[in-house]
Structure 1
Amino acid sequence: MRFSFMRLMVLVSLCFISPDHRCFVQTVEAAAVEPLKVLIVAGGCCHDYATQTKLLKKGIEERINASVEVIYNPDTSTEARFEIYDSDGWARDFDVVIHDECSANVSERPYVDRILNAHRNGVPAVNLHCAMHSYRWGNFQEPVADGADNSGWYEMIGLQSSRHGPQSPIDVTYSDHAIAKGLSSWKTVNEELYNNVRVYDSSHIVASGKQMQMPRKKKNKPVDPDAKPTEAEAVVAWTNEFGPKKTRIFSTSLGHNNDTVGDDKYLDLICRGLLWSTHKLTESGKPAAGYSK
């Protein structure tokens, strides 16, 4: 654990103006450990990543002892690529990587393998929303067999999804997982509920979502005026252990709209997922010393 004496003195001096003694304790703890080095990789189709990366960086750095670096590709196609992934050691300078890509049609196996190898070798990941629908090829509408040519991304995530429903609010309820400790059930604004083609045995549910959905409009057929909405349910947040080192992976399929990404409840969930993935969250759900703010 590295210790910055000058940093400690500056931060402690600021606490003398605060009547809250907890400020002193938290400041000393935070100064005694280096911030988590978080990398966000974002870009691709269908989302306002320019805004969402700013919301994520600000929200994370306000909540936990972390320093966030953002790599953003303004390419809005499903073929967005990231130069950082062209290097075998792309993740070596970071404690955890947030995958916020929407690159459904990027399917070159060597490129995807370089991404996955960092996580196989022990770098934790947090996967957000359209990351679940990235780097896919073959018949991804059906459960992909273990070890298949197109299985690697799903094996890392720990859940396979192929599509989502219409945008409408999702009722989110939590399990008793450590990440969920202290979090309350909530209803999102209009959001997309991603389906679950397969939930891997290595995964553990953190949150489930329910959404009322109207029947999908069928091609070349009129809309049924008497159609009634039905309730759909899916896992919306979960953990996984990936590869020989059992690297910790946290994912949530929530996060389509800016109002969701900027919601305190969403940012709290992401930060707790970051802490869990980096072994900075105890089994009772408390952040390790020095990592909360």
Structure 2
Amino acid sequence: MRLSRRLTAMATLLIVLLGTAPIASATEPAPKPIRALLVCGGCCHDYETQKELIAKGLAERAHIEVTVVHQGGTVNTSKIPLYENPDWAKGYDVVIHDECFSQVKDSDYIARILKPHKEGLPAVVIHCAMHCYRDGSDNWFQFCGVTSRRHGKRYPHEVVNRDPQHPIMVDFGASWFNPAGELYWIEKVWPTAHPLASSKNQETGGDEVCVWTNQYEKGRVFGTTLGHHNETVSHPAFLDLLTRGTLWACDKLNNQYFKSTPPRSAPAHPTPKGR
């Protein structure tokens, strides 16, 4: 009888203790979101649409909070207010450069843009970012990882995966189709850059690197020349690529930073005529 009472008392105590103890979550808590600054504006692109596609696409796929700064109008000569502040990148974990200011040639202004990246701030460079800030030096090209000064005709094209074992590229198979393209002609891939994908130049017959990584001083850079048309920017493959590249640049390309809910397919957004 005494043994039975003791067992009953112990069982009651165990239930009380378990009831007051914290229960481990079946899933890990979400990580602190990556703070991304998306800079866009300038010539020749539908940034009003594309900034929304990119911000939403990244946020749906990963724990990334995007702040958009859209300045400079629709010309390629603008020196935007953002970069006039020496601390323009303070508070961000990564900067996504999607601007198009090819005729900005102020070397001090350009150096101010590059400074935080030299010091280790990760970056993503998209499409016309490669054609920006031509002050006669190679400083901006070294940051991007490639030198490009022109593009060819516009046509859809296949994107060939050149490094399917790279963590950015593992889910893309041998190739995928870009529904609308403005392929940039690459004069030079810098020694610090590593090509990840290329496309056939239908005018010259050569291959043009269109996706890569770069090490710029202390900072990681992910780059792609894809992204002119809305049909490209809204495509799931492009948004998946951009997400993985952004996470890689931040050294956060792991399951913890991906969201478990698959993103919804983005609606079609035709590119306006003349762009």
Q: Distance in 2 between matches of 1:169 and 1:29?
A: 41
Task: Please tell me whether the aligned partners of residues 50 and 233 of structure 2 are also in contact (alpha carbons under 8 angstroms).
Answer: yes
Partner of 1:109: 107
Counterparts of 1:81-92 in structure 2, within 5 Å, are: 81-92=79-90
* 4+ aligned runs moved over 4 Å, structure 1: none
Offset at residue 270 of structure 1 (A): 0.3
Q: Which of 104, 120, 123 is equivalent to 1:122?
A: 120
Q: Which of 251, 254, 264 is equivalent to 2:226?
A: 254
Q: Does 1:241 align with 2:215?
A: yes
Q: Distance in 2 between matches of 1:119 and 1:74?
A: 21
Task: Please tell me whether the aligned partners of residues 36 and 66 of structure 1 are also in contact (alpha carbons under 8 angstroms).
Answer: yes
Q: Does 1:35 align with 2:33?
A: yes
Pair 66,198 (structure 1): closer, same or farther in 2 beyond 3 Å: same
Task: Please tell me whether the aligned partners of residues 118 and 216 of structure 2 are also in contact (alpha carbons under 8 angstroms).
Answer: yes
Q: Does 1:275 align with 2:247?
A: yes
Offset at residue 193 of structure 1 (A): 1.0
Give the secondary structure class of the aligned counterpart of 2:186: coil
Give the secondary structure class of the aligned counterpart of 1:259: helix
Offset at residue 29 of structure 1 (A): 3.5
Task: Please tell me whether the aligned partners of residues 100 and 129 of structure 1 are also in contact (alpha carbons under 8 angstroms).
Answer: yes
Q: Does 1:188 align with 2:178?
A: yes
Q: Distance in 2 between matches of 1:81 and 1:41?
A: 12
Q: Which of 135, 157, 177 is equivalent to 1:137?
A: 135
**Larger displacement relative to structure 2 (65-74 or 55-64):** 65-74
Q: Which of 185, 193, 196 is equivalent to 1:206?
A: 196
Q: Deviations over 1:68-111 (max 9, x none)?
A: 00000251111133211111111111000000000000110111
Q: Which of 145, 159, 167 is equivalent to 1:158?
A: 145
Q: Distance in 2 between matches of 1:67 and 1:133?
A: 27
Q: Distance in 2 between matches of 1:234 and 1:47?
A: 21
Q: Distance in 2 between matches of 1:55 and 1:173?
A: 24
Offset at residue 252 of structure 1 (A): 0.1
Partner of 1:263: 235
Offset at residue 24 of structure 1 (A): 5.8
Structure (1 or 2) with the greater strand fraction? 2
CA RMSD of aligned residues (A): 1.6
Q: Does 1:178 align with 2:167?
A: yes
Task: Please tell me whether the aligned partners of residues 206 and 237 of structure 1 are also in contact (alpha carbons under 8 angstroms).
Answer: yes
Partner of 2:49: 51
Partner of 1:289: 256
Give the secondary structure class of the aligned counterpart of 1:179: coil
Q: Distance in 1 between matches of 2:68 and 2:141?
A: 24
Q: Deviations over 1:167-214 (max 9, x none)?
A: 00121011232210111311112211111111011111111111423x
Name the count of aligned residue pairs.
233
Which structure: larger Rg? 2
Gaps of 5+ in 1: 1-22, 139-149, 214-229, 282-286
Task: Please tell me whether the aligned partners of residues 50 and 74 of structure 1 are also in contact (alpha carbons under 8 angstroms).
Answer: no
Identity %, equivalent residues: 40
Give the secondary structure class of the aligned counterpart of 2:55: helix
Tell me the amino acid that sits aligned with residue 139 of structure 2: G
Offset at residue 290 of structure 1 (A): 3.9
Q: Deviations over 1:249-283 (max 9, x none)?
A: 000000000010000000000000001000012xx
Per the normalisation by structure 1, the TM-score is 0.76
Offset at residue 291 of structure 1 (A): 4.0
Task: Please tell me whether the aligned partners of residues 236 and 254 of structure 1 are also in contact (alpha carbons under 8 angstroms).
Answer: yes
Give the secondary structure class of the aligned counterpart of 2:168: helix
Give the secondary structure class of the aligned counterpart of 1:212: coil
Q: Distance in 1 between matches of 2:26 and 2:239?
A: 25
Task: Please tell me whether the aligned partners of residues 171 and 211 of structure 1 are also in contact (alpha carbons under 8 angstroms).
Answer: no
Q: Distance in 2 between matches of 1:83 and 1:74?
A: 8
Task: Please tell me whether the aligned partners of residues 280 and 291 of structure 1 are also in contact (alpha carbons under 8 angstroms).
Answer: no
Q: Distance in 2 between matches of 1:67 and 1:179?
A: 20
